[in-house]
Amino acid sequence: MSRLPVNAVIGLSRAELSEALLPLQIERYRAGQIFDWLHKKRVSSYEEMSNLPAQLRRTLAEDMPFSYPEAVSRRESEKDGTVKYLLSYPDGALVESVLMHYRHGTSLCLSSQVGCRMACRFCASGILGKERNLLAGEMLEEVYAVSALEGERLSNIVIMGTGEPLDNYDEVVRFVRRVTDPEGNGLGGRQVALSTCGIVPNILRLAEEKLPLALALSLHAVRDSLRHELMPGTRAWTVRETVEAMRSYAILTGRRVTFEYILIRGLNDTEEDAQELARLIRGIPHLVNLIPVNPVAERGFCRPDAAETAAFKKMLEKCGINVTIRREMGSDVEGACGQLRRRRMEKLKAGPST
Ligand code: SF4
């Protein structure tokens, strides 16, 4: 049989796994056993699949290799218990995963790409560019590895870490299907959320997928010129086209959508900005999530203080907007997307003496 790419096997459904095993001419029930080992018992090697013959385990390791990412570092916030992992895949690719504890359960913010090519100016992940996409199986491994390391089952997944999920469309959709698969991981669909910078054709495609997925748009500016300057990867679409794609998503799926709005002092925090935002999203079942900008040293953005943030929230409320201010998590462990990976890569580039 032909060899599957490393870690692709975890992203297969039970039926796909059965089909992939056909060339081995083994008993049909073996596929179910292997699937359960991977997704229910969550072993991290074929060696641990104790009810499989030794020869079959060796063949599988050769033809369908998989290997959980290793934790390069683990940092825990003293403020709120947020845990930030830097994980390394066998090819050396580094991704961040952040575990956050809420009253309603434990949520994992996971990465969908190694780096990102969208180059958003407020984000450390965009500075180094994109290295590669993650496979659905690798994203599942992020979930399984962190869950095993922490010894707890996750109740929510947010695809909001490094990478633009809709720039890795097929693998991300596959991941959402697998992580919510009742035969496998079995997370309820309402517990999975995805945040995009707004790749319009793929928002419209996603609306047709019939995935029980909460969708958030990183909007951040209501004027095209400012949005395109802040988020160069979105230059192909206007703000209006992007918001209208979100409207279609809300209509087709019957789900409320979220608009993320990073607040930057002096750039996007005026009364006109608030009014234009309200006008754009009128009629869309929505939540606006305000996020005071995280400082990324070389970009020089000013973070509004609590009073300024509250004032902008009030302006939106006056316009009838349903708005909240995001609670900051893990600020003492480089909680902002991409900072930990970036620091590690700079260290590796500088060599072992630094
Ligand atoms: S904010 Fe998201 S889309 Fe933009 S560069 Fe960072 S990871 Fe990429």
What are the DSSP calls for 47-108, one per residue? Answer: GG-TTS-HHHHHHHHHHS---PPEEEEEEE-TTT--EEEEEE-TTS-EEEEEEEEETTEEEE
Span 230-273, pLDDT tens digits: 999 999 999 999 999 999 999 999 999 999 999 999 999 999 99
197 is catalytic: no
What is the pLDDT confidence band of residue 343, given thresholds at 50, 70 and 90?
Answer: low
For residue 1, is it within any domain? Answer: no
State whether the beta carbon of 294 lies less than 6 angstroms from ligand 1: no
State whether the beta carbon of 118 lies less than 6 angstroms from ligand 1: yes
The total number of structural domains that make up the chain:
2
For residue 302, is it within any domain? Answer: yes
DSSP run (H or E) holding 37: helix 29-39
Q: Do residue 115 and residue 16 come from a single domain?
A: no
For residue 143, is it within any domain? Answer: yes
Q: Mean pLDDT over residues 144-166, rounded?
A: 94
Q: Do residue 147 and residue 50 come from a single domain?
A: no
Distance 243 CA to ligand 1 centre (A): 18
State whether the beta carbon of 123 lies less than 6 angstroms from ligand 1: yes
> Do 251 and 244 touch, CB atoms closer than 8 A?
no
**Single residue among 22, 47, 63 that ends a domain in this structure:** 63
Residue 175: HSE in the Cβ half-sphere, 13 Å Cα cutoff? 30
Q: Do residue 165 and residue 33 come from a single domain?
A: no
For residue 4, is it within any domain? Answer: no
What is the pLDDT confidence band of residue 352, given thresholds at 50, 70 and 90?
Answer: very low
Q: Do residue 83 and residue 48 come from a single domain?
A: no
- Rounded CA-CA distance 67/248 in Å is 39
Residues above pLDDT 90, as percent of the chain: 78
Indicate which atom in ligand 1 lies nearest the CA of residue 122.
1
> Do 278 and 309 touch, CB atoms closer than 8 A?
no
Number of helices and strands in the chain (H, E) = 12, 12
Q: Which two tokens stand for residue 293?
A: 């900008």
pLDDT on residue 336: 54
- Rounded CA-CA distance 186/347 in Å is 39
Q: Do residue 22 and residue 88 come from a single domain?
A: no
Indicate which atom in ligand 1 lies nearest the CA of residue 218.
1
State whether the beta carbon of 159 lies less than 6 angstroms from ligand 1: no
Minimal-distance CA residue to ligand 1 atom 5: 126
Q: Which amino acid is at 166?
A: L
- Rounded CA-CA distance 7/22 in Å is 19
**Single residue among 48, 63, 78 that ends a domain in this structure:** 63
Q: Do residue 90 and residue 228 come from a single domain?
A: yes
Span 303-315, pLDDT tens digits: 999 999 999 999 9
120 is catalytic: no
- Residues in the chain, how many? 354
For residue 2, is it within any domain? Answer: no
**Single residue among 19, 38, 63 that ends a domain in this structure:** 63
What is the pLDDT confidence band of residue 353, given thresholds at 50, 70 and 90?
Answer: very low
pLDDT on residue 104: 82
Q: Do residue 214 and residue 327 come from a single domain?
A: yes
Higher local confidence (pLDDT), 170 or 191: 170
Q: Do residue 39 and residue 151 come from a single domain?
A: no
For residue 3, is it within any domain? Answer: no
Name the catalytic one among 96, 141, 164, 171: 96
State whether the beta carbon of 120 lies less than 6 angstroms from ligand 1: yes
Asked whether residue 348 carries a pLDDT value surpassing 60, the answer given is no
Cα torsion 117, 196, 89, 70 to 10°: value is 130
pLDDT on residue 2: 62
Asked whether residue 209 carries a pLDDT value surpassing 60, the answer given is yes
- Rounded CA-CA distance 276/294 in Å is 24
Per-chain mean pLDDT for the chain: 91
Q: Do residue 113 and residue 221 come from a single domain?
A: yes
What is the pLDDT confidence band of residue 125, given thresholds at 50, 70 and 90?
Answer: confident
Distance 44 CA to ligand 1 centre (A): 30
Distances (CA, A) of 302 to 151, 183, 292: 39, 48, 9
Q: Do residue 55 and residue 96 come from a single domain?
A: no
State whether the beta carbon of 337 lies less than 6 angstroms from ligand 1: yes
> Do 128 and 57 touch, CB atoms closer than 8 A?
no
Q: What pairing do the DSSP bridges indicate for beta strands 105-109 and 156-159? A: parallel
- 43-52, 189-198, 275-284, 332-341: range with lowest mean pLDDT: 332-341
Distance 59 CA to ligand 1 centre (A): 39
What is the pLDDT confidence band of residue 331, given thresholds at 50, 70 and 90?
Answer: low
pLDDT on residue 62: 95
Q: What is the CATH number of the domain that holds 86?
A: 3.20.20.70
Q: Which domain holds residue 27?
A: 9-63
DSSP run (H or E) holding 287: strand 286-292
Highest mean pLDDT among 122-131, 175-184, 277-286: 277-286
Distance 234 CA to ligand 1 centre (A): 11
248: three-class secondary structure by DSSP = helix
Q: Do residue 91 and residue 36 come from a single domain?
A: no
Distance 221 CA to ligand 1 centre (A): 15
Asked whether residue 126 carries a pLDDT value surpassing 90, the answer given is no
State whether the beta carbon of 126 lies less than 6 angstroms from ligand 1: yes
Q: Which two tokens stand for residue 131?
A: 């290295």
Distance 123 CA to ligand 1 centre (A): 6
Indicate which atom in ligand 1 lies nearest the CA of residue 126.
5
Span 33-73, pLDDT tens digits: 999 999 999 999 999 999 999 999 999 999 999 999 999 99
Q: Do residue 86 and residue 210 come from a single domain?
A: yes
Q: What is the CATH number of the domain that holds 17?
A: 1.10.150.530
For residue 195, is it within any domain? Answer: yes
Indicate which atom in ligand 1 lies nearest the CA of residue 116.
8
For residue 176, is it within any domain? Answer: yes
What is the pLDDT confidence band of residue 1, given thresholds at 50, 70 and 90?
Answer: low
